[in-house]
Structure 1
Amino acid sequence: MSPRLRKYLRRHARSYVIGFLLGTASAVLLMLGPLVLRLAVDAIAAGAALSSLLRYAAVLVALNLAVWILRYYWRMHILGVSRVIEYEIRNDYFAHLQRLHVGFFQHTRTGDLMTRAVSDLSTVQRFIGPGIMHFTSTLVLTAIAAGFMLAIDLTLTLYILVVLPLVSLTFIVLGPLIHRQYESVQEQFSVISAQAQENFSGIRVVKAFAQEPHETEAFAVLNREYIRRNLAVIKTDGALWPLMSFFLGLAAVVLLWQGGQAVIAGRITLGQFVQFIGYLGQLAWPMVALGWVVNLMQRGLASMKRLDEIFMQRPRIVDPAGAQALPAPRGEVEFRRVGFSYNGSQVLSGIDLHVPAGTTVAIVGPTGSGKSTLVNLIPRLFEPTEGSVLVDGVDVRRYRITDLRRCIGMVPQDTFMFSASLGENIAYGLEAPDAPRIQKAAEIARLAPDVADFPHGYDTVVGERGVTLSGGQKQRAAIARAVARDPSILILDDALSSVDTDTEEEILRQLRGVMATRTAIIISHRISTVRHADQIIVLDNGKIVQRGTHETLLAGGGLYADLYQKQLLEEELEATDLDAPVR
């Protein structure tokens, strides 16, 4: 069993012990029922009065009522605590995922993580709830029934105890096959979930490229494989249950054959024969349940193993021992001989860069030159493989992560909106919603005029991933979210690529007032966005190839001047196209 699962079980051992005691008490009372029947039948054979039979009937009613009450609380304890453990595991699973590094999510499919959190965890709950409940009940019932049966007739008991275990053995023999088949089904279900989640997230792209038939067929292929694997499980189950019914029928035949002979020979009374039949009936379900529990255990352990695979992933970016607080950051940033490699490929190399507090630095360069990777090292979304990144003269790896990231406002290249109201998205990261602060941030990001046209203003729900917003509106909302935090370090990663040049100029004019009192790092492909920066860094192939102001870089030629000339040419061509007469 998984050590992690054992930890949860030990934590709630008291509830399991109480449930076990209640189950044992109900089992004892349940096994008294056939004894009362035996006494009643023997009394009938001896010519008992009606009043005696009524007393036996009353005892049976009382026993069954007591069993019902005990079993109610027995199930409440065992099944209730299994739901509590399920709740704790789900919370721990989600919290663990929150602690994992960004790189983990880049190579793990979201649908697979969701399947483990829902389907696999549900299977674990069935094992630690109904599984454990019926396993302990089966052991207790079998032990008590065997004691009563042995007290009646040793030979008849041995005959029955030879046949009945075949019911459980059927499940145990076929269990490993079911276990392997179920693991295969769960793996395929993860693939299907991931495919569906990816498709729904990218539905705009699917429709834009008219790929609905292709996506439908691709999903159908995965679904057919899922059905094929499920049918394999059904075939095994199809053989399982009839075979168990056969062995239960065989036990009844053996009891009729041997028990009838014992009654005829006078070795046991008719009442004892009826008592034996009662025990056989009460042992039928426990024998089935034992095999079923073995199957639940195998499925539950397989699912817990899949959950443990995620729990065993260690966060690569954590607080060091004795981590420093960052109470009043100035915003000074420095890169010292920084290098970064990913999957064996060198992305950054030998980066030396000093950004004084309160200054604006722009980073430009061709696509894939490492610009986004460089700024992602500041909040420790990734760790440098060489050198160090410093904030206020201290290596960022020595700060508490929460303190470090709290002083940074970041607009990532891939803008993400939560399925909540616009105001809640802008306030994301604030300790408490602050309407004036939200509105001020929206004004700076030039989002306020658009909000005035929204049906519910800042309370308008933007939909999953901000589907109701345009690309430019999402970028401006992300800028407002970063500005609302009032960060010491503001990072804009190509944050104005989806807005037109006029809106860009208005946003930059508003941002200059914000950036005047804080450190700003701007990544952009547009020279117009970065020309007023205090320092411009030009990256190419992961290295700094130029640095300086807009004027000095233009005067010096090189890659920056080439980029500038290309953009001027593109603007001239666009202007020419607009001025050309329509034919």
Structure 2
Amino acid sequence: MKSLLALKPYFKRYRKTLIFGISTILISTGFQVIAPVLIRDAIDGLQADFTQNKLLEYAGMLLLVSALSGVFLYLTRRTIIDVSRHIEYDLRNDFLKHIQTLSLRYYQNTPTGDIMAHATNDISAVRMFVGPAVMYSSNTIFTFGIIFTLMLTIHPMLTLYALLPMPVMSFLVNRLGKILHKRYDAIQSHYSVLTAAAQEFISGIRVVKAYVREDYEDGKFDGLSKEYKDKNMAMAFIQALFMPSIMVLIGLSVIIVVWYGGLQVINETITLGEMTQFLIYLGMLIWPMIAIGWVVNIIQRAAASMARLQKIFDQVPEIQDDERTDTSITEIQGRITFEDVSFRYNPDDPIVLDSIALDIPAGSTVAIVGHTGVGKSTFANLIPRLYETTGGVVKIDGRDVSEIPLDVLRGSISYVMQESFLFSETIQNNIGYGVAEASLEEVEEAARVAQIDKDLKDFPEGFETILGERGITLSGGQKQRVSIARAVMRKPKILILDDALSAVDTHTEDDILKNLREVMKDCTGIIISHRISTVKNADHIIVLDEGKIKESGTHEDLIALYGQYAELHYKQLLAEEIEEME
């Protein structure tokens, strides 16, 4: 329940509307309790000298009271449900803004399905608390408070008899509510697992089909679904106990009132009209009593969901602007310096980069080669500060990257990663993604540089062609070239190509690199590749091995060194010759 206190700022934001909505509940309840008074007077009047006109007068008053109660009930639903939707909207936006600030390390350790479950089910559960639960809780409190007072004025002892089952009801609500909270928390946790499994299956459907693993995946998902069903059935069992238990207690209360109240009418302690008024009031308490079980269920769900959400909101971004940040820095030139930089992903993990020292002049191009897993991508990730160094300092233009505002640093860098991610948007929007306003002419020029413009002629809609999820409608090479075009569009000060040409043929690769040299003359380039043809024209080449710089120099220097680079070069030459012979 404490987790729901985190919603306090959201309630404050809409407190005026919320107060108005709760006020309408009080007014609506006030009109509702007038009706039994009119019915009492009418019944008692019928035993006296009631006329037909008087009866019509009471009927008219009842109609007016019911209409006014209905109007304010409408205002109640209109305002409080509106507030719940606004808070849901704000909470979902705040959630998205927050997770965007979290570091890559968080995403590496958290399944996508888990995050999706938070963004959908958990927020919806909280919205149900903010809207229906608040509305019905307020209605229950006001209705019970007003009617209890009025029942006491009719006959105090009869009121006490009517409320005899209440302690038992309170015990049931408290006991079953705790069980519901635990079971709903377990359901939501498993829902995250189920969502992650479904997302992984759909994303990898081509692999599943290629390896004929449909039955295996079906069995695995069936197991997860069965577990999810069993958890829901366990909670449904507790929910099923709620209503019957409450209805039995309500029925018991009615029996007591009819018996004891009937005796009071016989003894003329109360009138028949008062007895009728009392029974109507008791009937008016039935829905709030029933609603208690439903509201407790909603509150327990919301508390569990908000606790899960709060765990994410409590995650402090590992990398953010802080007291070290110099806000006067508004641009960078592109000089990159690694001063004795070391890095490991977790304290217990093996070291990935070990004492890297390197100075890259602004406007120059440096290539990084090496076997898989030697730290090439990690090296690139440290430049835009996607991770913090374990030791040493990465500097841009002589300033520690932690001193440069993140939006300035990352806004000046274009990073084409190994896996080309494209959005389910038009090709034009994908290329222009990193620019606030991109004209078609600029997009076309970027496409020309990346050598994707010719391919677009085969698409019926050209630049307006909408790509499938993650660019599934494009080949691997086409996706890489669209990603390169997107990077070029930003006119960055630093361009990082992390194995970004691996799916492109060597002829097209040469054309792209030639175009890049022409349009990115003042840009610092970092090229990571396994192909010697990609890196041979770089101003400087370094060979990483076991997290350290093993070789360094120009293409010619490294060939003359007859080391790892030269070995890789001659192997690739031999492979090309064999391919040509075939």
For this structure pair, what is the TM-score category when the shorter chain's length is used for normalisation? over 0.9
Distance 1:128 1:240, change over 3 A: same
Instruction: Report the Cα distance in structure 1 between the residues aligned to 2:294 and 2:474, rounded to whole angstroms.
Output: 52
Judge conservation of contact 2:242–2:293 (CA < 8 Å) in 1.
Answer: no
Residues 304-319 of structure 1 mapped to structure 2, 5 A cutoff: 304-319=306-321
Counterpart of 1:497?
A: 502
Please, which moves more after superposition, 164-173 or 468-477?
A: 164-173
Instruction: Report the Cα distance in structure 2 between the residues aligned to 1:373 and 1:298, rounded to whole angstroms.
Output: 44
Is 1:473 aligned with 2:475? no
Judge conservation of contact 1:172–1:291 (CA < 8 Å) in 2.
Answer: no
Is 1:523 aligned with 2:528? yes
Counterpart of 1:228?
A: 230
Instruction: Report the Cα distance in structure 1 between the residues aligned to 2:241 and 2:321, rounded to whole angstroms.
Output: 55
Question: How far does the alpha carbon of each residue in 1:471-512 deviate from its partner, in whole angstroms, 9 at most, with x for none?
Answer: 000000011111111111111100110011111122122222
Structure 1 stretches of 4+ moved >3 Å: 164-169, 324-328
Q: Give how far 1:449 is off.
A: 0.5
Question: How far does the alpha carbon of each residue in 1:269-290 deviate from its partner, in whole angstroms, 9 at most, with x for none?
Answer: 1101100110011000111222
Please, which moves more after superposition, 516-525 or 203-212?
A: 203-212
Is 1:244 aligned with 2:251? no
Counterpart of 2:142?
A: 140
Instruction: Report the Cα distance in structure 1 between the residues aligned to 2:539 and 2:21, rounded to whole angstroms.
Output: 71
Q: What SS class does the counterpart of residue 352 from structure 2 fall into? A: strand
Give percent identity, aligned residues only: 45
Q: What SS class does the counterpart of residue 346 from structure 1 fall into? A: coil
Judge conservation of contact 1:164–1:287 (CA < 8 Å) in 2.
Answer: no
Q: What SS class does the counterpart of residue 344 from structure 2 fall into? A: strand
Residues 40-79 of structure 1 mapped to structure 2, 5 A cutoff: 40-79=42-81
Counterpart of 1:571?
A: 576
Judge conservation of contact 2:243–2:293 (CA < 8 Å) in 1.
Answer: no
Judge conservation of contact 2:364–2:525 (CA < 8 Å) in 1.
Answer: yes
The letter of the residue matching 1:24 is L
Is 1:419 aligned with 2:424? yes
Instruction: Report the Cα distance in structure 2 between the residues aligned to 1:414 and 1:242, rounded to whole angstroms.
Output: 56
| TM-score normalized by the length of structure 1 | 0.97
Is 1:431 aligned with 2:433? no
Q: Give how far 1:455 is off.
A: 1.0
Judge conservation of contact 1:170–1:291 (CA < 8 Å) in 2.
Answer: no
The letter of the residue matching 2:97 is A
Instruction: Report the Cα distance in structure 2 between the residues aligned to 1:563 and 1:326, rounded to whole angstroms.
Output: 42
The letter of the residue matching 2:335 is E
Q: What SS class does the counterpart of residue 114 from structure 1 fall into? A: helix
Of 389, 395, 399, the match for 1:394: 399
Q: What SS class does the counterpart of residue 306 from structure 2 fall into? A: helix
The letter of the residue matching 2:286 is A
Instruction: Report the Cα distance in structure 2 between the residues aligned to 1:498 and 1:128, rounded to whole angstroms.
Output: 51
| TM-score normalized by the length of structure 2 | 0.97
Counterpart of 1:208?
A: 210
User: Please, what is the CA RMSD of the aligned residues?
Assistant: 1.3
Instruction: Report the Cα distance in structure 2 between the residues aligned to 1:413 and 1:323, rounded to whole angstroms.
Output: 32
Q: What SS class does the counterpart of residue 352 from structure 1 fall into? A: strand
Judge conservation of contact 2:367–2:542 (CA < 8 Å) in 1.
Answer: yes
Counterpart of 2:199?
A: 197
Q: What SS class does the counterpart of residue 353 from structure 2 fall into? A: strand
Judge conservation of contact 1:335–1:388 (CA < 8 Å) in 2.
Answer: yes
The letter of the residue matching 1:533 is A
Is 1:126 aligned with 2:128? yes
Instruction: Report the Cα distance in structure 1 between the residues aligned to 2:330 and 2:150, rounded to whole angstroms.
Output: 74
The letter of the residue matching 1:52 is K
Task: Give structure 1 stretches of 5+ with no counterpart.
Answer: 579-583
Instruction: Report the Cα distance in structure 1 between the residues aligned to 2:204 and 2:329, rounded to whole angstroms.
Output: 39
Task: Give structure 2 stretches of 5+ with no counterpart.
Answer: none
Judge conservation of contact 2:360–2:366 (CA < 8 Å) in 1.
Answer: yes
Counterpart of 1:581?
A: none
Q: What SS class does the counterpart of residue 351 from structure 2 fall into? A: strand
Q: What SS class does the counterpart of residue 539 from structure 1 fall into? A: strand
Instruction: Report the Cα distance in structure 2 between the residues aligned to 1:469 and 1:573, rounded to whole angstroms.
Output: 30
Instruction: Report the Cα distance in structure 2 between the residues aligned to 1:261 and 1:445, rounded to whole angstroms.
Output: 94
Is 1:90 aligned with 2:92? yes
Q: What SS class does the counterpart of residue 48 from structure 1 fall into? A: coil
Q: Give how far 1:4 is off.
A: 2.4
Counterpart of 2:83?
A: 81
Instruction: Report the Cα distance in structure 2 between the residues aligned to 1:240 and 1:491, rounded to whole angstroms.
Output: 61
Instruction: Report the Cα distance in structure 2 between the residues aligned to 1:146 and 1:241, rounded to whole angstroms.
Output: 22
Q: What SS class does the counterpart of residue 326 from structure 2 fall into? A: coil
Judge conservation of contact 2:537–2:555 (CA < 8 Å) in 1.
Answer: yes
Q: Give how far 1:569 is off.
A: 2.7
Q: What SS class does the counterpart of residue 336 from structure 1 fall into? A: strand
Counterpart of 2:340?
A: 337
Judge conservation of contact 2:363–2:525 (CA < 8 Å) in 1.
Answer: yes
Instruction: Report the Cα distance in structure 1 between the residues aligned to 2:78 and 2:119, rounded to whole angstroms.
Output: 24
